[in-house]
């Protein structure tokens, strides 16, 4: 079946319908990662958006449920050049086509995704409609497309009630050991076990209780903490600061999440209270923006955002540059920072925008990018170690 992508500027792409057969209006963004489409599809930060993958061949390795970063797909729509007709990977359970239908996500395939990306790059992120209906008169629907704004997205993606994940028990699906294969020496332990051993070696056997505020958290955030010996209690986004602080957590983690950070007025007020407590805090992405807003800084929307797994960020303290996984449309305005409150800790090497903050006289540091990766490079996972060290008393 034919499908159309109609952008708010009137551009129309014609392709083939994939996934659910329904019409949707959403914000159109692009992601440049070459692998990790499932992680992208299940990243709650994409709620209220339709994502186009710039890599043209999608679905090659099928769908493996345990790689999902949340329970379902949050995209409004999915835009690709070509969907693989067969999945090929030993872990694949079913096809991406089925996945989209199962999640009731409409999409379009067979369009020039590079041309679309260039439009978004040049004109900035804009809204669009994915439909199988042929509109002869765009003037009717363009205002409707233009008017779209995703609201209450954090509410949509956060968990409904608190739950706890036990240290070392919740972890990634990569098998623990490659042992037992004949004839191989030193195949060694699996990456994960190695990490866990290393963690125990460096942080000791002590376990920490971490409160994770779920604004749309990717699963790998609690995983990274659990692997490092934390018991993680996940709280709905609107949990009050008092309720969290009452449990006496060793540390608080603010998660990633979707939407315009400034919309979350109530949450920001609670985050301010967390700031005022002396509990160590680590925040990622939306969490990072909310903390900045809570302490008086401002955020603004980037022209077309950072979505991909190849974004260079520089640790200003060490001068080291790391590849990072990113997914954000908004950014903290460095100019608006109160220098007595926070200072820039990471910047993006390409556009020099803020990528992380370190709060003065507080055990608080926040990053715009995703150290939990999934998908993307694991280069900044050391930040979780830094958080653990901070809970253990280090500044």
Catalytic residues: 285, 370, 372
Cβ at position 94, least distance to another protein in Å: 14
Q: Are 221 and 284 in contact (CB under 8 A)?
A: yes
What whole-number distance in Å separates Cα of residue 277 and Cα of residue 209?
16
Residue among 57 and 147 whose Cβ is closer to another protein: 57
CA dihedral of 163, 213, 50, 139, whole degrees rounded to 10 = 120
Calpha distance 198→89 (Å, rounded): 30
Binding interface with another protein (CB under 8 A): 30, 32-36, 38-39, 54-57, 60-61, 64, 67, 81-82, 84-86, 88-91, 110, 112-115, 117-118, 121, 172-175, 178, 181, 183-191, 194, 308-312, 314, 319-323, 349-350, 373-379
User: Is the Cα dihedral 295, 149, 354, 368 positive or negative?
Assistant: positive
Give whichever of 63 and 153 is closer to another protein, judged by the CB atom.
Answer: 63
Distance in angstroms (rounded) separating the CA atoms of residues 63 and 68: 9
What is the distance between the terminal CA atoms of the chain, rounded to a whole angstrom?
58
Distance, CA of 37 to CA of 230 (rounded, Å)? 29
**Of the two residues 183 and 393, which places its CB atom closer to another protein in the complex?**
183
Q: 140 or 182: whose CB is closer to another protein?
A: 182
User: Closest distance between another protein and the C-beta of residue 264, in Å?
Assistant: 28
- Residue 194 or residue 300: which is nearer to another protein going by CB? 194
For 179, 191, 194, 200, the CA distances from 186, given in Å and listed in that order, are: 9, 13, 13, 21
Rounded to whole angstroms, the Cα distance separating 325 from 165 reads 24
In angstroms, the CA 330 to CA 167 distance is 33
Return all residues near 252 (Cβ < 8 A) that are at least 6 apart: 210, 211, 212, 213, 244, 274, 279, 280, 281, 282
Using DSSP, state whether 207 is helix, strand or coil.
coil
CB of 90 to another protein, least distance (A): 4
Determine the 3-state secondary structure of 325 from DSSP.
strand
Q: Which H helix or E strand runs over 302? A: strand 298-315
Nearer to another protein, 249 or 376 (CB): 376
């Amino acid at each position: 079946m034919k499908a159309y992508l109609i952008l708010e500027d009137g551009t129309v792409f014609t392709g083939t319908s994939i996934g659910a057969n329904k019409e949707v209006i959403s914000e159109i963004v692009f992601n440049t990662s070459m692998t990790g489409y499932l992680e992208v599809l299940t990243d709650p930060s994409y709620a209220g958006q339709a994502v186009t993958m710039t890599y043209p061949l999608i679905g090659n390795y099928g769908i493996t449920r345990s790689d999902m970063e949340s329970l379902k797909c949050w995209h409004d729509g999915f835009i690709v050049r070509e969907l693989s007709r067969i999945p090929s990977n030993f872990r694949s359970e079913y096809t991406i086509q089925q996945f989209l239908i199962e999640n009731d996500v409409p999409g379009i395939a067979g369009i020039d995704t590079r041309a679309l990306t260039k439009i978004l790059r040049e004109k900035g992120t804009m809204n669009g409609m994915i439909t199988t209906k042929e509109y002869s008169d765009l003037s009717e629907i363009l205002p409707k497309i233009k008017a779209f704004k995703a609201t209450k997205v954090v509410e949509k993606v956060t968990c409904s009630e608190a739950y706890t994940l036990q240290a070392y028990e919740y972890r990634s699906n990569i098998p623990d050991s490659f042992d037992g294969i004949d004839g191989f020496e030193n195949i060694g332990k699996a990456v994960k076990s190695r990490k866990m051993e290393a963690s125990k070696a460096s942080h000791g056997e002590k376990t920490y209780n971490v409160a994770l505020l779920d604004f749309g958290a990717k699963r790998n955030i609690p995983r990274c903490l659990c692997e490092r010996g934390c018991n993680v209690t996940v709280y709905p986004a609107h949990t009050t600061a008092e309720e969290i602080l009452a449990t006496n957590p060793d540390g608080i983690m603010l998660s990633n999440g979707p939407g315009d950070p400034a919309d979350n007025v109530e949450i920001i007020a609670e985050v301010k209270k967390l700031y005022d407590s002396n509990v160590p805090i680590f925040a990622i992405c939306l969490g990072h923006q909310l903390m900045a807003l809570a302490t008086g800084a401002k955020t603004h929307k980037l022209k077309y955002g950072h979505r991909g797994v190849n974004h260079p960020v520089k640790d200003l303290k060490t001068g080291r540059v790391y590849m990072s996984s990113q997914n954000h449309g908004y950014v903290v305005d460095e100019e608006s920072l109160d220098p007595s409150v926070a200072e820039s800790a990471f910047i993006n090497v390409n556009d020099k925008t803020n990528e992380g903050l370190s709060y003065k006289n507080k055990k608080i540091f926040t990053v715009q990018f995703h150290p939990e990766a999934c998908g993307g490079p694991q280069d900044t996972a050391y930040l979780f170690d830094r958080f653990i060290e901070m809970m253990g008393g280090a500044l």
